[in-house]
């Protein structure tokens, strides 16, 4: 699912490995991916976050 503000993509949510539960959240800044959070244990809360600059991951953080 994609979310827009003034016709600009600001975030997305996806369901990949956890059935009908959202397990990926992506935030955009100025049209570029800024952050992606992932729920690897399917508990509904992100446990990993990837921070982007341009197309590159510049930081990876464990959230639990």
CA angle, 62 then 16 then 40, to 5°: 25
The sign of the dihedral angle between the CA atoms of 3, 39, 51, 63 is: positive
Other CB atoms within a 10 A radius of the CB of residue 35 amount to 16
The boundaries of the domain holding residue 54 are 2-62
Provide the mean pLDDT of the chain. 95
Domain total in the chain: 1
* Mean pLDDT for the stretch of residues 9-27: 96
Predicted TM-score (pTM) of the model is 0.90
Averaged pLDDT for residues 34-61: 96
What tokens does 45 get?
């809360």
């Amino acid at each position: 699912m994609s979310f827009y503000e003034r016709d600009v993509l600001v975030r997305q949510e996806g369901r990949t490995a956890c059935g009908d539960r959202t397990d990926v959240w992506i935030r955009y800044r100025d049209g570029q991916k800024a952050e992606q959070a992932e729920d690897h244990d399917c508990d509904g809360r992100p446990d990993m976050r990837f921070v982007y600059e341009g197309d590159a991951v510049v930081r990876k953080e464990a959230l639990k």
